[in-house]
Amino acid sequence: MGMPVRAPLVAALVLGSSLALTPAPSSVAAPTTESATQLATPEVLTVPVGAEPDGTKVRLDVSVWPQASGRRPVVLLAHGFGGTKESVADEAAQLQERGYVVVAWSSRGHGQSGGRIHLNDPAYEIADARALLDLAAKRRDVELDGPGDPRAGVMGASYGGALGLMLAGIDRRVDGVVSAITWNDLADAFFPQAAVTRSATTAAGRHPIGVAGPFKQVWATNFFLSALRGVAGEENGAGAAATDRCGRFDPTVCRLFVQASETGKASPQLTALLRAHSPKPTMNAVHAPTFLVQGVADSLFGLDQADATASALAATGTPYAVRWSDGGHDAASTHEAEEVEASYTWLDHYVRDKAPRESALPTAAFTYGTPAGRPGQPTALHNLPAYPGLSGAPVETRELPLTTTGGSLLHPPGGQPASLIAVPGLAALGVSLSTYQVAALPGQSAALDSSPIAEAATVVGSPTMRFTVTSDTSDVTLFASVWRVTGGAVTLTNPLVAPARLTVTPGRPTPVTISLPAATYEMPAGTRWRVLLTSTESTYSNSREPSRIRIQDASALTLPVATGTEVGRVAVAGVDTETLIASALLALLLLLALAGWLVRRRRRRHLPSRPDLADVPLVVEGLVKTYSDGHRAVDDVTWRAEKGQVVGLLGPNGAGKTTTMRMVMGLISSDAGSVHVLGEPVTAGARVLARVGALIEGPGFLPHLTGRQNLEAYWAATGRRPEEAHFAEALDVAALGGAVDRPVKSYSHGMRQRLGIAQAMLGLPELLVLDEPTNGLDPPQIAAMRPILKRYAETGRTVVVSSHLLAEVEMTCTHVVVMHAGRVITQGLVADLVDSDDTTILDLGEHVDHDVVSAGVHALEATRGVTDVRVDTPTRLVVVAERGRAEVVAAAVEGGLPVVGVSSRRHLEEVFLGVISSASAPLDGAEPGDEGASLVERLRQVRAR
């Protein structure tokens, strides 16, 4: 269950490379290429199973990966929620290569299988899995332990992981289980309660009070939408189920969840249903050795769920091992290949090799990772010989005193705005949206700070703390998260929250013990930590009733700590020296080949620095960009912006202007050419972009923060010191007055635009790139912006402005670059472009008669050397001639025109339309004379894209 859908330990590519580079122990021979080519083709079956409650017959879409000869153990491979049997096809093929018969199927209500989704109902989905065990027992290629009893393992993640545990709890024919990122109690997962009756006796255990926690609204919505998306416009076995509002969900399940979405609370019926559809009720009957992989990066099914499952297995003496992955439903694991191999090894040991229950475990009893030093790096793995608290010895703990023991907070009417602490699934995209400013909303949060930790510690599990709560209402909800405080920076090391819903007597202090998010925390000596309590959280259903909450008498943090053995590089048992040398050589050759491929692939993008351009703010050379449909948006574009210049970038629709600006900022890559800022090449994330301020296609602000808080949050995200921001200068640009301390959601469009320009100017960057900066501003605001940009450039900095207001570009910019059809067709000083030796502007008297003007125009056109006469306005003529300006004026006066003013300066719009028109061939096969006014009118719309 959950989004994104995860197949059971998906790591096909990673696993393939690890097998190629890592020698296998002699006891587990890797398949040869020859044997792999002899693997039998998967069989596709439709298997009848139990009918729906209304009597509708159901058939499952099943695939079997058989063995070519002999009898082999079978593995039932279950997919995640919203997936199908195709989701696990790669893992099925890998297990087939290891010598297993593999049965994968699209679960009831998924893919081409019939029926509805009952959320692992023992009477439906789990009964279906039992039917597949019966199917396996009848096959001639499946090994049997007895009549009707196949030698069987079951493996799955999330929705499939729970199915495996539940199947093992009702069918003793299961001989081994691998269950990943799944639940123990589905009611507790969707309505988690972090308020506990006592401290836990295990690392991540919880003993919640008897009140259900708040509803995990966003995750519930995600998995319902995933099921609805899976049936939209798709033929499947659900029949009419795809047409109603519940999609393929069982109507009872759907109705109870809809009620919870409306009330934010769990009805007794929903609680009973979710608990019955969980491993918890039958865990005491599980006797199959079980390997549990649970994710730290998992806001859906936390470590506490695997802790409860492990505790139940330990109580019955069933062999088990626990691995805490740094992945989960919110992010991929950095050790997925090792987790896959450990899972397969577990099945090999207990299912294929029939190891007795009392034998040594094939993997460490408990493996956990400590956070990596840098984002994207793998966590450091550590092993312990037993899961903390389940070996007879108590969990080791330490106390961390607090310097702040209380605070006050409000719950806003309607539950909005809500604190934003963690968004499910964003980490999987490499995105970190949570910042302290959007989590600790003013008035809606309380920060409880620790003293500096005296001695470094590794926290493994769930810290706890006690405090008293006083409220003016009886229903109180709090969300707790753990932050690291370093200087002025506050960092959320694990994007998780611990929700607590309390029933209190209004006005009376109530003691509470909170179990904080279970994870691993590295706490170096001298660091300070903060427990942030908020009254709302954006991923949960929040109460709509306002309240006042007071926190007092907070105790020290109780930290579960552990010191495991770091997993290092060790010799592989059973592998001879020659194999190790050959494998090392193979790895080296593969790495060299990979490196060569990467160098060839990326060479064109890894451009060298240009010392000769170190003093030039921006140089664009030979840029080319062609999109996948073959359209060349930018074609050999070259221009530069020098210090002290305000450069205007102009062009009609489709000219390639914004595409060029995106490449200038490294937002998209070019097919050819280069962009250098101060001599450094621009690529995505290039360091030199820290010296550039930009406003591209409109600002984006968090609406519930004030203008000032938005600027501060943006600057904090850069990691630079506050004193470098020059907030005062930026706020002067915004000119918002007292509104700067109001929420941005109350701003007009023009106010947001001014705040966006101010944000771009934070830090006073050497290059300022603004896309339509005057969009949404009224005339006085536009006039006020004009000197600001000029003064900014006069300090030696550079401004690049894209605008469709030609008059503003003429009055603001020193230089202009005009693009058309992806090319630069003219560029230079604005003063040079608007000045013309062969053009004379004649201003006529205010009340000149139309017939007089017509006669004068005819007289000028008949004058030798005059090539063009155009009536610009009723009182203004534009004359292009190969004669001196005095001669043109004399000819006009002789023609009867009342000339009152003469100039040579054209408006930029005239220049723009002139160069565009001259650069435009007849369009779409039109005759040269057919363009006329329609082309000119189109060219007046110069907002480029």
pLDDT by residue (tens digit) across 458-492? 999 999 999 999 999 999 999 999 999 987 789 99
- What is the spatial distance between Cα 617 and Cα 731, in angstroms, rounded to a whole number? 25
Domain 611-826 top-level CATH class? alpha beta
Tell me, what's the pLDDT at 874? 86
Domain ranges for the chain: 217-271, 397-560, 577-606, 611-826, 833-939
**What does the pLDDT read at residue 184?**
98
Cβ pair 944, 634 in contact under 8 A: no
Mean pLDDT for 93-110 is 96
**Where does the pLDDT of residue 38 fall: very low under 50, low under 70, confident under 90, or very high at 90 and above?**
low
Q: Which residue did the predictor score with more confidence, 572 or 930?
A: 930
Of the two residues 583 and 293, the one the predictor is more confident about is 293
**Which of 31-35, 378-382, 721-725 is the least confident region?**
31-35
pLDDT, mean of residues 915-938: 46
- Give me the mean pLDDT over the 792-807 stretch: 84
pTM, rounded to two decimals: 0.62
Strands (E), 727-814: 767-771, 798-802
Write down the architecture of domain 397-560 according to CATH: Sandwich (2.60)
- The hierarchical CATH code for the domain 833-939 is 3.30.70.100
What average pLDDT score do residues 163-187 get?
A: 98
- Based on DSSP, count helices (H) and strands (E) in the chain, helices before strands: 24, 40
Residue 434 has pLDDT above 50, yes or no: no
Average pLDDT over residues 391-407: 93
For every residue of 463-475, DSSP letters joined together read -EEEEEEEESSSE
Residue labelled with tokens 């290949």? 337
> Per-residue pLDDT tens for 499-548?
999 999 999 999 999 999 999 999 999 999 999 999 999 999 998 888 99
- What does the pLDDT read at residue 831? 74
* pLDDT of the residue at 881: 85
- Cα–Cα distances (Å) from 879 to 63, 371, 565, 761, in that order, read 82, 74, 88, 44
Burial class (CB in 10 A: 0-12, 13-18, 19+), 209: middle
CA dist., res. 682 & res. 357, Å (int): 60
Lowest mean pLDDT among 138-147, 388-397, 877-886: 877-886
Residue 226 is encoded by which pair of tokens? 């995933």
Q: In which band, very low, low, confident or very high, does the pLDDT at 31 lie, cut at 50, 70 and 90?
A: very low
Domains 397-560 and 611-826 share a fold: no
Least confident of 18-32, 114-128, 222-236, 712-726: 18-32
The pLDDT-based confidence of 62 (bands split at 50, 70, 90) is: very high
Average pLDDT over residues 74-87: 95
Q: How confident is the model at residue 567 (pLDDT cuts 50, 70, 90)?
A: confident
Q: How far is CA 79 from the centre of its chain?
A: 23
Q: Check if the beta carbon of residue 248 is closer than 8 Å to that of residue 241.
A: yes
Residue 901: pLDDT band (50, 70, 90) is confident
- Give the type of residue at 631: H
- Say whether pLDDT at 235 is over 70: no
* Strand ranges (E), 50-163: 58-65, 74-78, 101-105, 144-146, 149-150, 152-157
Percent of residues, the chain, with pLDDT higher than 90: 50
Average of pLDDT values for 720-726? 86
Q: Name which of 185-199, 333-347, 394-408, 808-822 the model is least confident about.
A: 808-822
Q: Which of 252-256, 321-325, 678-682, 792-796 has the highest mean pLDDT?
A: 321-325
Mean pLDDT, the chain, rounded, equals 83
In terms of DSSP H, where are the helices of 701-838? 707-718, 727-734, 749-761, 779-794, 806-812, 830-834
Position 401, amino acid: P
Let me know the angle formed at the C-alpha of 77 by 71 and 81, rounded to the nearest 5 degrees: 165
Q: Which amino acid is at 208?
A: P
